Amino acid sequence: MPSIAAFYEFVLKGRKRLGFRVQMDTTTTNVAETDAELPGALLELQNHGVPLKNASLVLLRVENNGFTYIDTHDYVALDDDRFGIRFFFPNRKVVGTVITELSNDSLRANFRDLRTAFREESDKHPAGGVVELPKVPMNRSAHYKVLAALERVSGVTGEPGPPILEGDIKDGRIVESQSRIGTPKRIIALVGFLVVLVLAQLVVFLRSDSGAPLDCTTGHVTVYGSTAFKPIVEEAADAYGDLCPGASFDFAMAGSGEGVAALDDRGRAGAKGEFLAFSDGHKADGMPALIGRPISFFLFALVANPDAGVRDLTSAQVKDIYAGKVTNWKAVGGKDLPIRLILRHRGSGTRAAFKARVLGDGTEAPATVDVCPRESAGRSFICEVGDTAKLLETVAGTSGALGYSEAGAAAGEKGVVTVRLDDHPPTVEEADAHLYPFWETEYAYTVGEPAARSLGASFLRFLTTQVGSDILRSHGLRPCPELANPARCQPV
């Protein structure tokens, strides 16, 4: 409906919001004495061996408290500027900083760039230190914390001013998050806007035969394909159904290869109805009736049970492990544990991407057991599972296990750790720079060209241009139209 479209454009889509809080700002003299092993240690902070005078500690929290994903290009800064926001401390200089908390370990790689500086006094501002923070991509509700040790600028009296954040977000804003008594003005304004919106929608509904958005189609679609992509498609379908109540979807997603084959069978049989198949990569040969459209740049990751004691592997080590040449984690710097490989079934798009992008011309040892056991009397084994969720569950519950899955699903799974490849984490930025190899293009396949006003065609447009694109980004993916080479959906 027009009112819903207006609400999305002006209230949701434009509401990228980066929040920050000063969770602590105290002098070390305000720290109470305790029975700790080193009482008074905070009173003895030093800078290159020289004790600090009038030292203070500041704990800052930076969070994405808006409605949509914040990417590196959303920070208002020059392209060659590695830093997105800066904290200025009037009348204090920065002695040291450390990142103390990450909502997700995948954020860690962004903090290789972290810099401090000092500004001399000018007509516009007093002297003070600056902490420069990188352009961190952040999902909704993601956050990190910065602890800074500071020292009063010599000769300054009185209380120093609070930290000041400098920077901005495109199509959004940066706000200070803090507790307030009573209802915030922006909430009151939003409630007022919603009341007006409801009244306007009632008028539109009464004056029109249909309250649906311009590109809203009714009908039913059966969806096949990638289990790694399934949670994303289901979330997008729910969002589409909220806007278009006459649309419904069934999901029979058992793997990329099986899904594309099922779609091809429906086409050859002339089955009635609408069908879609999502595949992690290209379809197999021999299916000339199927037409594919690139949807997103899809990241994958190696995942290990924490017991393995490994967070980084070289490409050569991975090839040796999957060829069966290395069967104990100790041989690659981990613990003295047997390596248990958890594979996806043949026909899996994730498995095909792993073989093409990571193993390359390397060999892959076959499964040694039919069913994945929890333990195997202290020896290695290789087994296969049917979908992404089962793989992550098996790796988490099997000591010494190693597998692979969609990167976004792995990042949110307890009991597994993502493994860097050649010291590069699974991020869009690393893959876009040709540093991280494990990725694939996610394709949507149809039998021939769908009718322009069909539900399938409308849903695919929604997935790549409207709320669906925000859903893709929220899962750590990148919609193909946003890449430099969208026709092939590959990094350039």
Please, is 12 exposed, middle or buried when counting C-beta atoms within 10 Å of its C-beta (0-12, 13-18, 19+)? middle
Tens place of pLDDT for every residue, the chain, 492 residues?
A: 445 444 444 444 446 889 999 998 888 665 544 444 444 444 445 554 556 677 889 999 999 988 888 988 889 988 778 889 999 999 999 988 889 899 888 788 888 777 888 888 887 778 889 999 999 998 888 999 999 988 888 877 667 889 999 999 988 889 887 643 344 555 445 444 544 444 445 434 334 444 445 578 999 999 999 988 999 999 999 999 998 999 999 999 988 999 999 999 999 999 989 999 999 888 888 999 999 988 888 889 999 999 999 999 999 999 999 999 999 999 999 999 999 999 999 888 899 999 999 999 888 899 999 999 876 667 899 999 988 889 999 999 999 999 999 888 888 788 999 999 999 999 877 887 788 999 888 999 999 999 989 999 999 999 887 688 888 888 878 887 776 666 657 654
Distance, in Å, from the CA atom of 297 to the CA atom of 309, rounded to the nearest integer, reads: 30
SS3 of 77-138: CCCCCCEEEEEEEECEEEEEEEEEEECCHHHHHHHHCCEEEEECCCCCCCCEEEEEEECCCE
Q: What is the pLDDT of residue 170?
A: 87
Q: Is residue 197 part of a domain?
A: no
Amino acid at 431: A
Distance, in Å, from the CA atom of 409 to the CA atom of 430, rounded to the nearest integer, reads: 18
CATH number of domain containing 85:
2.60.40
Q: What is the pLDDT of residue 13?
A: 47
Q: Cα-flanking dihedrals φ and ψ of residue 428, to 5°?
A: -60, -40
Please, is 351 exposed, middle or buried when counting C-beta atoms within 10 Å of its C-beta (0-12, 13-18, 19+)? buried
- Specify whether 244 is located in the same domain as 143: no
- Specify whether 355 is located in the same domain as 461: no
**Long-range Cβ contacts of 117-125 (<8 Å, 24+ apart):** 118/93, 118/94, 119/88, 125/88, 125/90
Q: Cα–Cα–Cα angle for 29, 31, 34, nearest 5°?
A: 125
- Strands 219-225 vs 16-27: parallel, antiparallel or unpaired: unpaired
- Specify whether 111 is located in the same domain as 154: yes
Q: What is the pLDDT of residue 27?
A: 80
Distance, in Å, from the CA atom of 451 to the CA atom of 280, rounded to the nearest integer, reads: 24
* Strand, helix or coil for residue 302: strand
- Specify whether 279 is located in the same domain as 387: no
Q: What is the pLDDT of residue 36?
A: 45
Q: Is residue 200 part of a domain?
A: no
Domain ends where: 153, 176, 199?
176
- Specify whether 312 is located in the same domain as 430: yes
- Specify whether 331 is located in the same domain as 362: yes
* Strand, helix or coil for residue 341: strand
- Specify whether 421 is located in the same domain as 333: yes
Instruction: Please give the C-alpha separations between residue 368 and each of 156, 255, 380, in angstroms, as whole numbers.
Output: 72, 22, 9
* Residue carrying structure tokens 């009632």: 202
Distance, in Å, from the CA atom of 96 to the CA atom of 330, rounded to the nearest integer, reads: 36
Q: What is the pLDDT of residue 466?
A: 66
Instruction: Answer for the pair 262, 290: CB distance below 8 angstroms, yes or no.
Output: no
Q: Is residue 400 part of a domain?
A: yes
- Specify whether 312 is located in the same domain as 415: yes
Please, is 204 exposed, middle or buried when counting C-beta atoms within 10 Å of its C-beta (0-12, 13-18, 19+)? middle
- In sequence order, what DSSP letters do the residues of 58-70 get, joined into one string? EEEEEEE-SSS-B
SS3 of 257-269: HHHHHHHHHHHHH
Q: Cα-flanking dihedrals φ and ψ of residue 125, to 5°?
A: -155, 155
Q: What is the extent of the structural domain holding 330?
A: 299-439
Instruction: Please give the C-alpha separations between residue 98 and each of 90, 136, 446, in angstroms, as whole numbers.
Output: 20, 15, 50
Q: Cα–Cα–Cα angle for 160, 59, 474, nearest 5°?
A: 130
Q: Is residue 80 part of a domain?
A: yes
- Specify whether 325 is located in the same domain as 286: no
- Specify whether 228 is located in the same domain as 119: no
> For residue 76, what is the DSSP state?
-
- Specify whether 398 is located in the same domain as 252: no
Amino acid at 425: P
CATH number of domain containing 320:
3.40.190.10
Extract the tokens encoding 129.
């230190």
Q: Is residue 304 part of a domain?
A: yes
Instruction: Answer for the pair 351, 390: CB distance below 8 angstroms, yes or no.
Output: no
Q: Distance from CA of residue 258 to its chain's centroid?
A: 27
Distance, in Å, from the CA atom of 152 to the CA atom of 55, rounded to the nearest integer, reads: 7
Domain ends where: 144, 161, 176?
176
Residues in contact with 209: Cβ distance below 8 Å, sequence separation at least 6, in sequence order: none
Q: Is residue 9 part of a domain?
A: no
- Specify whether 369 is located in the same domain as 414: yes
Please, is 459 exposed, middle or buried when counting C-beta atoms within 10 Å of its C-beta (0-12, 13-18, 19+)? buried
Q: Is residue 5 part of a domain?
A: no
Distance, in Å, from the CA atom of 151 to the CA atom of 99, rounded to the nearest integer, reads: 19
Q: Is residue 10 part of a domain?
A: no
Domains held by the chain: number: 3
